[in-house]
Amino acid sequence: AALLAEFLQELAPEEIPPAARLIIGQVFPEWEGRALNLSWRAVMAVVDGLVDAPPEVREQISARAVDGGEYVQLLLEQNRRDDPRPRPLTILEAYVTLEQIAATAGRGSRARKEALLRTMLERATPLEAKYLAKVIYQEMRHGVSEGLLLDGIARAAGVKTKVVRRANQLWGDVGEVALVALTEGEAGLAGATIRLFRPVKPMLAQTADELADPFQRHDGRVALEYKLDGARVQIHRRGNKVRIYSRRLADVTTSLPDVVAEVQAKLTAGEAVLDGEAVAVDDQGRPLPFQHLMRRFRRVHDVAETAAEIPVELHLFDVLLLNGESFIDLPCEERWSALEQEAGGLPLVRRLLPSTVEEGEAFAQAAHHDGHEGVMVKALDSAYTPGGRGKAWSKLKHVMSLDLVIVAADWGYGRRHGWLSNYHLAARDAETLEYLLVGKTFKGPTDAEFRLITEQLLALERSRQRGTVIVQPQIIVEVLFNEIQESSQYPSGLALRFARIARLREDKGPAEADTLQTVRELYEEQFRYKGHPA
């Protein structure tokens, strides 16, 4: 934080916003929607034009490199044809070039993007090229998180960290926060508020294993809400203008014209920022699996036709702003009351104020039987903290498990460099005895378990394909997941959603792993409660 503060204080005002973003691998604020759209192939096409490196040297460097950025650095250090061109890169020059890359579109855009990138890399040192590559892929991995950057901004400006953090929550741009903090101080940040048509990060929840934990933590003063199996949406409305933003702050308005029309027709408030969930449903109103909703979110052409095929229902559960007044600091129960008054004909998520844990558990079971993921538990006195994941909100999901076989693993990168850590999970076909993939995951194991599993897998190695090690199917793991989806990627035709490893099953052999037939039965069982895709 001290290093960051010293650096920021040295910058000219116009350098502060791009520098603050680039430190954490961002080029533009998340809500802007601009993207570089540069592939790894395009980056390597430019780098290849600057180096002479035979295939065997590239393989050696690839094995040593922690990530793509370090690969670029090592390749340039060892095999560059010419020294960097004179006149070092500046922050503003690099940023303007990145803006130009993002703005380049249409026929021939790839060649123009590569030409712009080349103008930077020809002047960049290998270390600078490393971090330019990391910026492009938003994989900085240098120990500076957004939170640590905000600490540095607070130090540089001499203001309280909580004031800086709140401004960032509301503005969603560390660049603007840094500029205002360093040029206007605490007085400039104190005026931060939610702005219409600039989405804020959604408030998040911690995972709870049992309802009793959050119930007791908040002395029973909680609300339970269905955790819908849909996509989080943030709705901004002023008059007839309505914009809808995804959980990641992308503008998805054009993909949801039916939701826009419903908000325009039914919402009482003329000006509002609302939090809710969009759920795809079948012709009986039952929720469809999540992947079918994603077809709506990705659709930019033939939207009306897709909307007819996959209807979407909107369910609201929170309000952040109403008619010019911010509601985020009000207690949850007051925000809900205001939402009830202003929602008009828009449906609210199903909700309960349980008097006992048993009553809440029955509500959670009802949520599962209605085809949803589980329940949210919200403290009635909690404020809305954009981007925060505190103990005020908890989520309890319906979880399933399978015992599956690891048939391959990918070498990790970043912190997991040197470990086989992305595991290919397979179920055994009881008829053909073939092991067929149903998912991949790197989530769950501890560092010690990563090391142990790496040793065990290398002892079972059959072959390698680039960064993937194919192994004998011997190691069994218990895998937790929330849903089974159709998949065109895997020969099994199925894929686990939110898969994570719970434990090694050293007591089981591969013949005792769950079969593909069991996975298919679980897939079909889901539709007792969910809508079945046509």
| Catalytic pick among 113, 201, 227, 530 | 227
| Residue 1, both tokens | 């934080």
The three-state DSSP-derived secondary structure of 317-344 is: EEEEEECCEECCCCCHHHHHHHHHHHCC
- The interaxial angle of helices 2-9 and 174-190, nearest 10 deg, is 90
| Catalytic annotation present for 227 | yes
Which amino acid is present at 389? R
DSSP of 130-199: HHHHHHHHT---SS--HHHHHHHHHHHHT--HHHHHHHHHHH--HHHHHHHHHHHHHHHHHT---BTTB-
From CA 369, how far away is CA 258, in angstroms rounded?
Answer: 27
- Cα separations (Å) of 317 from 31, 155, 203, 259, 278? 22, 37, 12, 15, 11
Which amino acid is present at 301? H
Give the CA-trace dihedral at 45, 46, 47, 50, to 10 degrees.
120
Work out the number of other CB atoms within 10 angstroms of the CB of residue 85.
12
| Cβ-contact 511, 496 below 8 angstroms | no
Q: How many CA atoms lie within 13 A of 288 on its CB side?
A: 22
From CA 9, how far away is CA 66, in angstroms rounded?
Answer: 31
Which runs of E-coded beta strand occur in 190-238? Answer: 206-207, 222-227, 231-238
Q: What is the three-class DSSP state of 386?
A: coil
Question: Who's near 350: CB < 8 A, 6+ residues apart?
Answer: 225, 226, 367, 370
Q: Report which of 338, 366, 341 is spatially closest to residue 351, judged by C-alpha positions.
A: 366
From CA 58, how far away is CA 75, in angstroms rounded?
Answer: 7
Give the residue numbers marked as catalytic: 227
